[in-house]
Amino acid sequence: MKNGHALASYCALAVLVDLLHIGTHSERQAIADEMLNHDVMDLCLKNIDSWLCSYRRLAASTIRSLAGLIGDRISAGTIADIIAKMCAFVLQGPRFFVEQFHAPETKWQGGIIVLRGLNATEAEVAKCALRYSGLAHDDALWAAQGLVCTYPVLSAKFRLEILKKRPEIVDLLFDCAITPRPAWYPERQADAVACEILALLFQWPPYVVPGVSSPLDGSLRTQEWKALSQALTILTSREEWSGRLIEVWMRVEEEDWRHVDSLFHNVKNYGAKTLLGKRTFQLAFELRGIKRISILRLITTLTHAADSCGITNAELESLLRVAYVASQKIKQADKETEEDHLMHVERTQDMFGVQVGDSRIAPQVDSPLQIAEETVMGPTALARLFAMLGQRGVLDSIQTLKKAPSGLSTATSLDQVQMITHPGVIRKFLLIAIRRVESRTESGRKVAQSNPCYARMHFMSSAELGAALVSFDRYTRGKYAEEVKGVRKQLVVALGNASEMATRTGQSQTALSLALGAITSAESIPDTEGLDEAITAKNMRRADQARATLRQG
């Protein structure tokens, strides 16, 4: 009787979830609103700890399906509770599922729910437990992601409230991000999604290019920055925070592609009916790339709050190796050499076109999370780390150290830090970084007509790298002026192009902010940069056009 009632309850909620995937958007919205009015979130939070593993997965998949439809109706506190619950569920691992699929009183879940009534032996059903747990854990992290991946993006103040309610979710997300790839579910996505959530929680407002000031800044940007810096303080208050960032990176770096390949070829041992296809295999490396750029994004953002967050010199130096490795040249894709092809896929992965909520039900909008590929984020992170060390007056003195500074990560040696900060290496890096600014702007031009939103991301990330190099030049008092010559002009051009793309996509406030940033950046440019007056005039026209559109409402 108990199992019969459990199955009926499961099917009832499962049918409602299925209804969220059919019909018009308004029909799905009406169903979601009705479910929310009947306290479905409370039910899911209760069921994630259910005595049945199938209920736990259904709770996760229900929130995942609802997120894109009701995310704006859920409080910061509830979102914090859900993220914590979903992470804890993932970190429990597969044991509970395995026990349930073997126990006489609960093994019916495998035969009826997982295999959908297919004729299978008990041994075959039990074998599915591990893979079923992997699917459930992916659902859980996607559910959490869907609640913070919104459009318009959540304000920094709202995200701060989430972190204040449950600051431990930072630790939980890092724990999820470093879990080893399971042999029974090698295509897992949960670790990369955990990194996405971290990036979402600590992201900049969409109209801001970090490091670029604008006369438009005013009170709104001040309030947003205050909330973001407080959120970053929560991150840096967690024990071993810098070590956790490095650990996520190292887990990716140390995982050999041949090991991943062997796991994909052995999934039939865990109940998979067929081998996973080439597209799924490549996706595993795209997800590795997402982990890499998410970590680089966090490092770069943290440098802007290094002083207010109390980040030590040793912590900045500990992160140098990650940013340096990420700045290295990427080999061209070669399908004849599988390793080179996969590494190219991984290191050229960016984040754009992220769907709001469950991708099966949410309409496509401008991407709420945008992170440039490693060839841009790596140099940006490294330039920002150099800039902060230069501002603190310790960049040059690193070469004279006789022993590793106290607090330096065990994953980073003094030799590495001294090599990376050697003036000759810095000069070589700066020349590479300048070319990356130029090539990023050029890649934006190539997609400007076909996809202005994507082009805007290219231009804004080019501008951010340019701004990081300008900051480095300022904080090192012109020591490397010759190497960064021309970057100020490139910064102005990139900002102007980004403003133009924002105008084309109807984002007038962003267009105005970017145009004013370009105008302000042009004011201090020396004549040797060769900035054409026509560029400044064009940016002024862009600012005027954006103002006129905003006045019209």
Q: Where are the domains of the chain?
A: 1-144, 154-367+379-414, 422-552
Rounded CA gap, 213 and 347, in Å? Answer: 30
pLDDT, tens only, 408-466: 999 999 999 999 999 999 999 999 999 999 999 999 999 999 999 999 999 999 999 99
More confident residue, 151 or 27: 27
The region of weakest confidence among 1-15, 323-337, 468-482, 519-533 is 1-15
| Mean pLDDT, rounded, of the chain | 93
pLDDT, tens only, 34-63: 999 999 999 999 999 999 999 999 999 999
Determine the pLDDT at residue 363: 46
Long-range contacts: 105-114, Cβ < 8 Å, 24+?
Answer: 105/3, 106/3, 106/52, 106/53, 108/3, 108/7, 109/52, 109/53, 109/54, 112/7, 113/10, 113/54, 114/54
- Cα separation, 465 vs 387, whole angstroms: 12
Rounded to two decimals, what is the model's pTM?
Answer: 0.95
Percent over 70 (pLDDT), the chain: 95
Beta-bridge partner residues of 351 = 371
End-to-end CA distance of the chain: give it in Å, rounded. 62
pLDDT the model gives residue 118 = 62
At 126, is the pLDDT very low, low, confident or very high (cuts 50, 70, 90)? confident
pLDDT class for 248, splitting at 50, 70, 90? very high
pLDDT tens-digit series, residues 354-394: 666 544 444 445 789 999 999 999 999 999 999 999 999 99
Instruction: Indicate if the pLDDT at residue 153 is higher than 80.
Output: yes
CB-based burial label for 102 (10 Å; 0-12, 13-18, 19+): middle
Average pLDDT over residues 95-108: 91
Residue (of 472, 315, 505) closest to 379 by Cα position? 472
Question: Which residues are registered as beta bridge partners of 371?
Answer: 351
Distance CA 465, CA 469 (A): 6
pLDDT for the residue numbered 356: 60
Question: What's the rounded mean pLDDT across residues 214-243?
Answer: 91
DSSP-assigned states of every residue in 291-329: HHHHHHHHHHHHHTTTTTTT--HHHHHHTHHHHHHHTSP
Nearest to 48 by CA among 8, 96, 11, 7: 96
Closest CA relative to residue 362, chosen from 44, 78, 149, 56: 149
- The residue with tokens 């967690």 is 238
Task: Output the six-digit token pair for 35.
Answer: 């479910």
**pLDDT at residue number 269:** 87
Alpha-carbon span 233 to 246, nearest angstrom: 18
Residue 271 has a pLDDT of 80
The pLDDT of residue 479 is above 80: yes
Indicate if the pLDDT at residue 150 is higher than 70: yes
CATH topology of domain 422-552: 1.25.40
d(CA 62, CA 14): 8
Q: Mean per-residue pLDDT for 98-125?
A: 78
DSSP secondary structure letters along 357-415: S-TTTSPP-S-S--B--HHHHHHHHHHHHHHHHHHTT-TGGGGG-SSPPTT--TTS-HH
